[in-house]
Amino acid sequence: MSTHHLKATNLLASGAFGLVWKMHVTSQSGGKEYPLHCAVKEVKTNISATTTTREIELLASASSVSDHVIQLHSHFGNGQQLFYCMECFGSSLADILETRTMRDASLNVPQITFGLLSALRDIHAIGIVHRDLKPANILVDLTTSKIKLIDFGSATYYQRQSTVGFAPVVGTLEYRAPEMLFGSTQYNEKIDLWSTGMILWELLSPNAQRPLIPATNEFDSFLRLLFLLGAPTESEVCEMVDGPSRTMLLELVESLKANNRNELTRRMVHVNGGGGGSGEDDEDGGGGSSSSSSSSSSSSSSSSSSSGGNIGGMNGMNRLQHQHGVELMRQLIVYSPLERIGAEEALVTSPFFNATNVSKE
């Protein structure tokens, strides 16, 4: 039988499901002591046993297949509380963005993105969808820009062809995929890729508004999303939702067609340093505009690459690499889950990761 002695040094984070402490843990087993400095998640007593057991199982499975997922050392309880003992690693990306340490430390944005997509590729391959990707759930090593994905409290297993529905109200509103926001219960791993696009926006534009959709409630988020991407096409609606939600959304889309400007295109012109001005006049609108905007982005990157040099505040990226990041973001922030690029495809095909400043180990 093992006993555990915990000594907290400081509070790392707090959330809906519990607190995370940096602790010195001494485990005693078989007459031997095993000291360990680690992050300990203290789960609130009002969380169901099913939820905590599921999180432990999902985290253990995810960390066993990916080095980009936080490692679970052990878990134990005292009858009233449950503790997860995990490796101590880096700083929260949310804290880095909030304090703008990212610019001072010259973090490698392509490397961070590569690590996040690698984590998603690995967990999606074994049927796990995270469902709450956001900067607060990504830890970053300030020296290497390596990342670790944390907090699997909202994660679940999925199957691509499953007919079993999921709850649409999961995760953090500002990073929630449109199919969830519009009421779909048949979503899949592509919701994590939408969230990745939202995070990439913040990494590529540290001086711009964050998050990209700063909503206060579901309806506010709904309106801001329509303003950002324009109204979805009929085919995109059908690929996102079904049932009564599809009918209601199609009716709303019809009423919005008169004002269907793609605001994201205009914003990316600003992030690109004013290059590619043709995108500002893009009236194509709708989620379907991603292909047209991608082509304008490509022409912009070709012209800007000749100027060379690093972009101020862009962490060592030259204009061409930054533009490749913008193109990847545009492949992630699209309405249709079918058209949204997957983690494996992005890692293999995106030129954002071809530079020498990206380690693919």
Q: Is residue 31 over pLDDT 70? A: no
Mean of per-residue pLDDT scores for the chain: 75
State the pLDDT confidence band at 215, using cuts at 50, 70 and 90. Answer: confident
Output the pLDDT for position 263. 65
Output the pLDDT for position 316. 62
Output the pLDDT for position 341. 98
pTM value is 0.78
d(CA 23, CA 149): 20
* Residue 161, Ramachandran bin (φ over 0: left; ψ between -120 and 50: alpha; else beta): alpha
Contact 118, 68 (CB under 8 A): yes
Contact 264, 280 (CB under 8 A): no
Angle at 156 between CA 151 and CA 233, to 5 degrees: 105
State the pLDDT confidence band at 281, using cuts at 50, 70 and 90. Answer: very low
The edge-to-edge listing of strands for the beta sheet with 82-86 is 3-14, 18-29, 32-43, 82-86, 72-77
> What digits encode the pLDDT tens for the residues 299-355?
333 333 333 444 444 556 788 898 999 999 999 999 999 999 999 999 999 999 998
Output the pLDDT for position 313. 43
Residue 310 CB partners (closer than 8 Å, separation 6+):
316, 317, 318
Q: What is the mean pLDDT of residues 104-126?
A: 90
Token output for 55: 């999180």
Residue 151 CB partners (closer than 8 Å, separation 6+):
15, 132, 136, 137
If you write DSSP's letter for every residue of 128-168 in order, what string do you get?
EE-S--SGGGEEE-TTT--EEE---SS-EE--TT------S
d(CA 267, CA 212): 10
Output the pLDDT for position 75. 75
Q: What is the mean pLDDT of residues 194-205?
A: 93
Output the pLDDT for position 237. 81
Cα dihedral angle (82, 86, 91, 97), rounded to 10 degrees?
A: -60
Q: Percentage of the chain surpassing pLDDT 90?
A: 30
d(CA 61, CA 69): 10
Output the pLDDT for position 106. 64
Output the pLDDT for position 183. 81
Output the pLDDT for position 296. 37
Q: Specify the length of the chain in residues.
A: 361
Cα(first)–Cα(last) distance of the chain, in Å?
39
Token output for 100: 């703008």
> What digits encode the pLDDT tens for the residues 130-160?
999 999 999 999 889 999 999 898 899 887 5
Q: Is residue 235 over pLDDT 80? A: yes
Higher pLDDT, 193 or 172: 193
Q: What is the mean pLDDT of residues 81-98?
A: 83
Q: What is the mean pLDDT of residues 211-235?
A: 86
Output the pLDDT for position 269. 56
Token output for 107: 């973090």
Q: Is residue 127 over pLDDT 90? A: yes
d(CA 94, CA 195): 14
Output the pLDDT for position 337. 94
Strands 128-129 and 32-43: unpaired
Token output for 333: 């922030």
Output the pLDDT for position 319. 86
Q: What is the mean pLDDT of residues 257-273?
A: 59
Higher pLDDT, 283 or 120: 120
Q: How many helices (H) and strands (E) does the chain have?
A: 13, 10
Higher pLDDT, 264 or 101: 264
Q: What is the mean pLDDT of residues 31-60?
A: 68
Q: What is the mean pLDDT of residues 107-129?
A: 95
Output the pLDDT for position 280. 36
If you write DSSP's letter for every residue of 66-91 in order, what string do you get?
-TTB--EEEEEE-SS-EEEEE---SE
Token output for 319: 């204009």
